[in-house]
A and B are shown apart, each in its own frame.
Chain A
Amino acid sequence: MKKQIMKMALGIIVASAVITSCKKDDTPVPAPEPNAEEVITTMKLTFIPAGGGTTLTYQFEDADGPGGNAPTQQEIVLAPSKSYAVTVQLLDKTKTPVSDVTVEVAAEAAAHRFYYEPTAGNNITVSGLNNDAAGIPLGITSNWATGAVAIGKIKVTLRHYEGTPPNKALGDPVNSTKSATDIEVEFNTKIQ
């Protein structure tokens, strides 16, 4: 009997020790670690007019990544009947220093592809997309030709191929189920 009481007492001591050892202020909420993952915040298009003139830049930016504050987006304004050499740049501004994601896209050209889809009547023609090593369009650089004054839209899409090997082919449409969307931004355009 004595032994039993001893054991019971022991149990109660253990239990009370546990109960008292977990007061709330003992464990502060651990501080979160910054996200090391890539967050593409910005897509920037740089327009160099053929035959000289001012270089133009237009961008889509979502500084805090998906969700939170709404992204900001500029309207692409170009001059009529002109040709522009266009370069696309992707940035991760959540990192310090700012990380240029375009470099990695270029390094994995066989698994990436940009598409430019102007809406009918916006009087913009996109051609001359640069190719990957296999001669299939990559599209980091392109040529944009403008016509008469017009307004419209253009959709810029970056697709990447998930398969191994990627099986990227010339005829792949933008909505190919072989590839998935990394970026899809629709800009308003104005030729004036």
Chain B
Amino acid sequence: MKFLLSILFTVFITGTLYAQSCNITITGHVEDADTKDKLVAATVLIEETGKQIVTDSKADFIFNNLCAGSYSIRITHIGCDTVIKKITLTKDYHFDVVMPHQRGVLGIVTVESQKGIVNTGFKKEITGRILEETKGGTLAEALSKINGVTILQTGSTISKPVIHGLHSNRILTINNGVRQEGQQWGNEHAPEIDPFIADKLTVIKGVDELKYGSDAIGGVILVEPKPLRNKVGYSAEINTAYFTNNKQYVVSAVFEQQLKKLPSFTYRLQGTFKKGANATTANYRLNNTGSEEKNFSATAGWKKSVFNTELFYSHFETEVGIFIGAHIGNLTDLQNAIAAPKPNDVFLGQNTYTIARPKQDVVHDLIKSKTVFFVKEHKFSLLLAGQFNRRKEFDIVRSSTNKTAQLDLNIKTYTQDFSWEHPKKHGFSGTAGLALMQQTNNYSGRYFIPNYVAYTFGGYYIEKWTKHEWDVQAGIRYDNKTINTTRLKFNNDTINYDFNFSTVASSINVGYKINDSWKANANISLASRAPHVNELLSDGIHHGTATYENGDIALKPEQSVHFTSGINYQNKERTFLIDALLYVNSIDNFIYQQPFPDNPVLTIAGAFPLLKYTQTNAILSGIDLSGMVKITSVLELNSKFSYLHARNKKINDWLILMPANRFNNELLYNFKDGKKITKTYLSVEMVNVLQQKKVPSDKNGKQDYKEPPAGYNLINLNASATYTLRKTPITLGLGVRNLFNTAYRDYLNSMRYFADEMGRNISIRLKIII
């Protein structure tokens, strides 16, 4: 995805005129040395010609029609030291600039800029236009814009990201530098993060995963806010959106300031309010599918030349209704509901914001302090964080006077991370760290997982080497996890189980820049994930699926060997790009829920099919392809295709609930900038999701209640323009999802048994930057 974005140049000096002897092009990319953020509006000056341009919204720049010869290129950006790069041009040239932060003394440093690939491994991100278009949606919806990322849903309000077929506890989510310790037990547990905090969403695989854990079998998601303001003054941004389908409105605002009297101190305040009513499918409205979100965050930073510290607090609060017709009393009810072509009319048609049972109330608070200090060129950082997560699930209960939650889990997590980065020398840069975690869970109400106390300690070491066309990274990590659990039996006795798991992970990555057009990358990662408490000890009825879920205390850690290899090509005019990624993830002791159709659990409410956490050896392999063609200077085509092949090796069958193969094509028209109106575009997107035919066979009894739904095609529209009113940019965006109001169901939505997906949804977005 990154390369798709990185070529959307808005700065073209002279079109496509090529002089015969002077037709050399210089291209480049500018980023912050510490935060790795793109530096937009950095000034790039060729001293010899006096030609000067400013980096575009992707932090890229391009100079065309240069003659052969020697040049000094001066790159400046507010808050950073000036960088001068001396080059001798004989042919087209590309370089990436890493801008160091000013450390007290104003000075000019001449650095050897990186010639290789800056971001090696699997690293794909969403920023800018694509991120804007997803504003008001869920975090997972935004992430699904990345090729290879799909979403697992419970209705339209609960969604979680799936990377190459893997989700939940196989993916680590890093929220503003802190490993998110929320509740990812089930398919209906969405990540507890306000997407408006993010300025950038990144999915990584490979060596950098090791900084966060040895258990990132599926990958790591980084949710990164903008770095704090670097100059005196204030700024504010207001985002609002309205969605017609479920009458959802969103208001989000950010204010930040650096005080003139105290320039070391910067603060930021941010808040989001979101409320949606019942969602409508193509033909009917689903009762109790509303949602409400109230989020707030505050950041304060103190920055000196060799020392900076940041305090961050965020509060996430959501109330989510679950479609009432999908709450199931027992298996017979489920079969009746599935057999019906549409839900019973009593569950349809209410146009209201009211949320009733079944619903979820989730609150997640995070407090974090990060301190960075330099000793000579060595960088040390200490990250302390506390996370407080409370999840309440309200089932439909027989008694209408019951106001309590049937499931109430209260998880508190404390983490301490200490890391060291050595200075870059002879092409080597590296980092090592220690990570500690303490976690407690308290449950009340219905038993789902036990009370527990868990401790983790771990350490990692990563070294990176860059020289000329090569970029090699390697790292290793060890973690040890202790879990002590206790639960109550019906007669008030307790059952206690204690566990201890050691896991090791390592990764090596090699990147090679074949020439200015071709880049190749290969990575092998070994990761190991200890089973989670729910996989070990869950025991009870799951009302969303009418199953009886059972854990297994004998589970062993999953061991994954993950190979990824990517190649990408771009022509020198950056009008054609193609990127291919091939991956094979072989996971031994893969934990999944195996249906045992012949052993139903008999209860007073009837018999429930048994699902038991089981281990197998699995292999997930696939291909992600994407490409961009700039048909004319204003019109471009973006195409994506992803294919996944997921096998259960032990029983030689397919794995259940894996994303279907899909195509995505987008035609984007960028209008020429006017005097007042800029960044105007119109895009048409076509999404084709094929029917998932690779599902477990029924040779060992029925594995699913219903065949996967048919494939579907959707057309989406997006348009946006920015109008500058007295130096204040006002951006108006318009989006249409499911233009033709197609009735469809998706295999990765648990509502597929009961109801259609959301119908046409028109959205209007307004963004003002002050």
Question: A residues touching B (Cβ–Cβ < 8 Å)?
Answer: 4-5, 7-8, 11, 14-15, 18-19, 22, 24, 27-43, 60, 62-68, 70-71, 94, 101, 104-105, 108, 111-112, 159-160, 162-164, 167, 175-178, 180-185
Contacts and interface: CB of A to CB of B under 8 A. Distances in A.
Given A163-B324, A175-B332, A180-B328, 16 more contacts: A4-B373, A8-B375, A24-B453, A29-B440, A32-B450, A35-B447, A36-B444, A60-B604, A64-B490, A66-B541, A67-B541, A68-B490, A94-B490, A112-B398, A180-B329, A184-B606
B107 interface: no
B382 A163 contact: no
A32 B451 contact: yes
Interface string B597-608: 000011111101
Contacts, number: 183
Closest 4 CB pairs of A and B: A181-B329, A180-B329, A184-B606, A177-B344
B416 interface: yes
Given A22-B436, A94-B490, A29 B451 contact: yes
Given A30-B451, A32-B451, A108-B399, A184 B605 contact: yes
A32 B373 contact: no
Contacts of B540: 66-67
A52 to B, nearest CB: 32
Nearest to A33: B444
Interface stretch (B218-226, B231-239, B481-489, B734-742): B481-489
Contacts of A60: 604
26 contacts: A4-B373, A7-B307, A8-B380, A14-B382, A18-B416, A24-B453, A29-B440, A29-B484, A30-B442, A32-B450, A36-B404, A38-B397, A43-B604, A66-B540, A66-B601, A67-B540, A68-B489, A105-B398, A108-B400, A159-B329, A162-B347, A177-B347, A180-B329, A184-B330, A184-B605, A184-B606
B418 A15 contact: yes
B402 interface: yes
A43 B604 CA distance: 8
B440 A30 contact: yes
Contacts of B436: 18-19, 22
Nearest to B418: A15
B604 A35 contact: no
B451 A104 contact: no
Is the interface on chain B under 10, 10 to 19, 20 to 34, or 35 or more residues? Answer: 35 or more
A1 to B, nearest CB: 9
B373 A183 contact: no
Given A4-B375, A35-B445, A62-B604, A162 B327 contact: yes
A36 B445 contact: yes
A5 to B, nearest CB: 7
Interface string B448-461: 00111101000000
Given A11-B371, A66-B601, A181 B606 contact: yes
Interface in B650-698: none
B590 interface: no
Interface in B356-377: 356, 371, 373-375
A71 B540 CA distance: 15
A181 B604 contact: no
Nearest to A62: B604
A7 B304 CA distance: 12
A19 B436 CA distance: 7
B396 interface: yes
A43 B603 CA distance: 12
Contacts of B450: 32
B416 A185 contact: no
The residue in A11, A62, A70, A176 that gathers the most chain B C-beta atoms within 10 A of its C-beta is: A11
The residue in B346, B398, B418, B492 that gathers the most chain A C-beta atoms within 10 A of its C-beta is: B398
Contacts of B172: none
B606 to A, nearest CB: 4
Contact of B603 (A11, A66, A177): A66
A191 B468 CA distance: 92
B325 interface: yes
Contact of B455 (A24, A36, A42): A24
